Amino acid sequence: SAVGKHLQDYLLLETSFYLELKESRDHDRGVKEIFLSIDEDKHDLGDDGYLLEVDVERSSIRATQPAGVVYGLQTLRQLVQSGPDDSKVVPALKILDKPRFKWRGLMLDVGRHFYSVEFVKRFIDLLALHKMNTFHWHLTEDQGWRIEIKKYPKLTQIGSQRAETQTAEDQERFDGEPHGGFYTQEEIKQIVAYAGSRFITIVPEIEMPGHSSAALASYPELGCTGGPYEVQTAWGIKGEVYCAGNETVYSFLEDVLSEVLELFPSPVIHIGGDEVPKMRWRECPKCQAMIQTQGLKDEDQLQSYFITRIEKFLNAKGRQLIGWDEILEGG
């Protein structure tokens, strides 16, 4: 019925036609209808495939899972054409469609530029239109922390705001305009539910151990030098990163991730792991002590220790870690 409500809303919005919803196992002869059904025997469709058939009497969408029906609805929407006398018509056809890839996604970086809740929902609608099923939400950066963490309010009080922004035209110029914003946990719950109703999984990304200037500006004790740090106004790879030899950092990140896991049901959690300069770690007594006590070879292996430690925490919570390719560095 929820899937049928989707179709009802789409058609009312796009064609001004209101279709009555009715639950029935069989087609009513002589009644023009759009028939939606789950047929678990159609194994050739997989979980996301669908069979769309349109003839003079009716349209039907069959799938083995509700997600497949929703993808069929998107195709049906795209087939609606204007006919004579303001009527709406769909060509007679038969389409058997299933995806080549299980993960079909797009990333939105709200760290460098904040986007409104309304924009994010529109983004999700467009993912659904293109039958994508994964929204990779890049929520933290050197240039801004965008997710409310109740245990650490300074992350949004301080980390979500920057003084100005580097302009695209000239890397030496800045716009002089303060930029900021973040999503409350209630807003995130709303967005996660909105995506879920469209069979889209949101994969949150919380960057570590690099791309962490906004967090360090909020809590300077998490860095190797103790700061001061600032939310970055320019793009590029920044040298200030979480201190990998400080136990407080791991406690902080586990606290942050615990709140993230409460908000996002995604089986995978993205932790970034990319572009981590090692200069602070080479000079930091705590990092060098961690290398010694853990029997590590160098700072690259220290990064692997950091990533693996976070992975074990996520695994214990029933989740899997995902990151950029640099998580492979250091073994």
> Is residue 57 annotated as a catalytic residue, yes or no?
no
Quick one: CA torsion of 20, 23, 26, 32, rounded to 10 degrees?
A: 10
Name, in order, each residue with C-beta under 8 angstroms of 102's C-beta and a sequence gap of 6 or more. Answer: 48
Q: Are 111 and 141 in contact (CB under 8 A)?
A: yes
Residue whose pair of structure tokens reads 């074990």 in the numeric block: 312
Q: Write out the E strands in 238-308.
A: 268-272
Q: Hunting for tokens 């770690």 — which residue is that?
A: 281
Backbone φ and ψ for 97, nearest 5 degrees, come out as -135, 130
Rounded Cα gap, residues 185 and 177, in angstroms: 27
Report in angstroms the alpha-carbon separations of 70 from 74, 205, 249, 257: 6, 27, 43, 32
Q: Which of 33, 53, 275, 329 is catalytic?
A: 275
Give catalytic residue positions: 275
